[in-house]
Amino acid sequence: MSRNSGDIGARALTLCALAFTACLLSGQALAQTKPTPNWGATDIQVNPQTQPNFRKNTPEVIPNSQFSLGAAAIEAKYKEIGGTSNYIGAPVGESKPTPNGGQFRLYQQGFIFWNRLAGAGVSGPYMLSIWKLHGFEKGPLGFPTSFEFAVGDGGRRNNFQNGVIVMHPMTQAYAIYGRIGARWIAQAAGNKLCGYPLGDETDGPLVQGGRTRLQHFQYGTIRWVSATDKVDMTCRGK
């Protein structure tokens, strides 16, 4: 009887030891197979400029990266136009990326934009509202390539990749772009022959079965004809 009890007790201890070992092995296996969290940049708000390595997949800011180059170009343009004494005022925030690979910085009275092809350009309070109406950098004008500057007869002008925005005390501010804009810009002194625009570019009547685009100016009209892909103008000058 005592022998049987000893055998049972020994078997029980052996089973417990085996069970304990199995639990340990099972725990190790679970630890190895348990999925690790897939941390993303949006899971924890991290400033990549101050904590570039907080998460493995958080974008790092490299001194010679495009972002750093854009920020430096924006700062250089700001100093070029006079720093805090210029017409767009003091900076409001840091440089931020645009959806299509550019960069911008907000100021009290305007923006400075930059992209690799256009460089840095300034959009002041008056031109900014017109640029916004045309879709900012995604619209037909593209990025600004200059700051807002005065022209000799009391007007103001801002150059863009694909056109200009101009204004004059006698007219409102309007954008001129595309083929019509190229023709207007190509004229002697830029605006002497046709004057300032009186409205936006619009659709004109069909010519040879094709559409036309035209824009009216102080001293005439510039028209693009799709059927011939040519630009004609009826400007009499001053």
Contact 88, 98 (CB under 8 A): no
Place of tokens 């960069």: 103
**Which pLDDT band, with edges at 50, 70 and 90, does 68 fall under?**
confident
Q: Rounded CA gap, 216 and 234, in Å?
A: 10
Q: Which helix (H) or strand (E) holds 17?
A: helix 2-33
The pLDDT, as a whole number, for residue 216 is 96
Q: Which stretch of 24-28, 70-74, 173-177, 191-195 has the lowest confidence by average pLDDT?
A: 24-28
Q: Rounded CA gap, 78 and 234, in Å?
A: 40
Give pLDDT tens digits for 20-48: 444 434 444 333 433 322 222 222 232 33
Q: Rounded CA gap, 23 and 178, in Å?
A: 74
The pLDDT, as a whole number, for residue 83 is 87
Sequence-separated (6 or more) residues with CB below 8 Å from residue 37: 43
Region of 128 (left: φ > 0; alpha: ψ -120 to 50; beta: rest) is alpha
- CA dihedral 79→81→82→83, nearest 10 degrees, is -50
Q: Rounded CA gap, 167 and 174, in Å?
A: 7
The pLDDT, as a whole number, for residue 7 is 53
Give pLDDT tens digits for 117-175: 889 999 887 788 899 999 998 999 999 998 888 887 788 899 999 999 999 888 889 99
The pLDDT, as a whole number, for residue 4 is 52
Say what the pTM is.
Answer: 0.66
Q: Above 90 in pLDDT, residue 198?
A: yes
Type of residue at 165: I
Sequence-separated (6 or more) residues with CB below 8 Å from residue 15: none
Q: What is the mean pLDDT of the chain?
A: 75
3-state secondary structure of 222: strand
Place of tokens 């029980």: 12
Give pLDDT tens digits for 199-211: 999 999 999 999 9
Give pLDDT tens digits for 79-109: 998 988 888 899 998 999 888 778 999 999 8
**Which pLDDT band, with edges at 50, 70 and 90, does 191 fall under?**
low
The pLDDT, as a whole number, for residue 26 is 43
Q: Above 80 in pLDDT, residue 2?
A: no
The pLDDT, as a whole number, for residue 170 is 87
The pLDDT, as a whole number, for residue 62 is 33
* CA distances from residue 181 to 125, 156, 194 in whole angstroms, order as listed: 22, 16, 12
